[in-house]
Amino acid sequence: MMRSWVESANSADCPFPLNNLPYGVFSVGDSDEGRCGVAIGEMILDLTRLEEDGHISLGEHPVFDCESWNDFMELGADIWAEFRVWLIESLGEGSEKAVTFADYLVARADATMHLPLEVMEYTDFYAGKNHAFNVGSIFRGPENALPPNWLSIPIGYNGRASSVVVSGTDVRRPLGQLKGPNDDLPRFGASQRFDLELEFGAIVGRASDDMISVQQADDAIFGYVILNDWSARDIQAWEYQPLGPFQAKATATTISPWIVTKAALEPFRTSTPERERELLPYLREPGPMSYDIALEVALAPEGKAATTISRTNYDRLYYSAAQQLCHHTTSGCPMNVGDLLGSGTISGPTKDSRGSLLELSWSGQEPVKLDTGEERSFLEDGDTLTLRANARGDGYTIGFGDCVGKVLPANDIPDWAKE
């Protein structure tokens, strides 16, 4: 562990030691204007104010005067690396900057977190093999579980960037068209099978206009967040053929507030699982491009204690974010700084490592038992979900900040939409 003059950063359990230095956007007090900051221990270093006061100068124009990290990402990987070195020096134990910079620290407990980036476009992948197999087994039986293309393509679809919200934002149960298997016709109502998906998000930090390799794709990734891809299973079941999920996934996608940089995760690099079918050359990884990051999901009914309902690891993903991004560019699709790539649900091989209630309750056949004595097949109003991620190093922890969302009851159906 690297030690900081910010004492709270030096505990082995602290999610934000000097080794981490994740990037976020926060506000304090009455102002809701977002400022760029880096988390260190229990504090946030206010980079916007440091830049205003001339302690940071990364170019001709200010970089931290906007409410996102997009401008910083635009500066490119060399500046990402240089700035991280400067931060580690400035916040390291014994730094001569301690006296001055102490005035630029804000307590995390006093801060409200905002989206750390302007999400340009949002793509969601389906890169977890256990998840794809489980979902396929539920709907089509285990013999037809995995689609024929699954072992060849990191399957993805475009999501809705406007629906991405930061941790702590309440999520309203969606309305939509619902049709049960025995119904002749659909009806319009509130989703009864509202679910979470435990995912990670990779943030694209470099634009591209043409196809890039897996290595170039890895180089283009700026950092990672935890991501909950809220999903209305009943809306999805009726709408998704033939063009994929649409309104089932458009209510909200929650991300954790801190972008953990690729640099901070470097010690935790590991390989994706062994290939079960040889990949086409363009998708082969030149080195380890996954990460060993422990993940867990906790569910708390309204006013009650939380139960951890799933524990798994990021390294279960069959396709890395770099493979996903490479594939995304094959057709010439332009990628932009601020694009967000959801990993797909990260389920492990065992029942207690499944990343969605659809899988955990096996589509409602085996409801999940909570420590409170209650059961859950899908989410109920008032439930709060907390997704956590931790990479454990030698005497230190790299945390992401919780990814939290509470389910609000559906809106009343408007009069003009009633039957």
Annotated binding site: 124, 126, 140, 197, 199, 229, 236, 240, 249, 253, 345
The answer to whether the CB of 379 falls within 8 A of the CB of 234 is no
- Under the binding rule (CB under 8 A), the answer on residue 8 touching a copy of itself is no
The answer to whether the CB of 136 falls within 8 A of the CB of 224 is no
User: Where does this chain touch a copy of itself (CB under 8 A) — which range of 109-117, 179-187, 347-355, 396-404?
Assistant: 179-187
- Ranges within 236-265 binding a copy of itself (CB under 8 A): 238-248, 250-252
The answer to whether the CB of 187 falls within 8 A of the CB of 322 is no
DSSP H helices, 75-160, are 77-91, 98-101, 129-140
- What's the Rg (C-alpha) of the chain? 22
User: Where does this chain touch a copy of itself (CB under 8 A) — which range of 87-95, 311-319, 350-358, 410-418?
Assistant: 410-418
- Binding residue numbers for Ca(2+): 124, 197, 199, 229
Kindly state the helix (H) or strand (E) to which residue 325 belongs, with its residue range. helix 321-328
- Under the binding rule (CB under 8 A), the answer on residue 418 touching a copy of itself is yes
Q: Which residue bears the tokens 């790299």? A: 398
328 part of the active site: no
How far apart CA 348 and CA 403 sit, in angstroms, is 20
- Structure-block tokens of residue 237: 């079941």
- Under the binding rule (CB under 8 A), the answer on residue 328 touching a copy of itself is yes
- Binding residue numbers for Mg(2+): 229, 249, 253
Shortest Å distance, C-beta 236 to a copy of itself? 10
CB atoms within 10 A of CB 382: 14
How far apart CA 309 and CA 355 sit, in angstroms, is 9
- Out of 17, 37, 159, 205, point to the residue binding a copy of itself (CB under 8 A): 159
From 114, 131, 327, 328, the catalytic residue: 131
Shortest Å distance, C-beta 20 to a copy of itself? 31
> In the 8-state DSSP scheme, what is residue 335?
B
DSSP H helices, 14-95, are 47-52, 70-74, 77-91
- Under the binding rule (CB under 8 A), the answer on residue 157 touching a copy of itself is yes
- Under the binding rule (CB under 8 A), the answer on residue 145 touching a copy of itself is no
Positions touching a copy of itself (CB under 8 A) are 120-121, 126, 147-149, 152-153, 155-163, 172, 174-177, 179, 185-188, 210-211, 213, 232, 235, 238-248, 250-252, 277, 280-282, 327-328, 330-336, 411, 414, 416-419
| Residues with catalytic function | 131
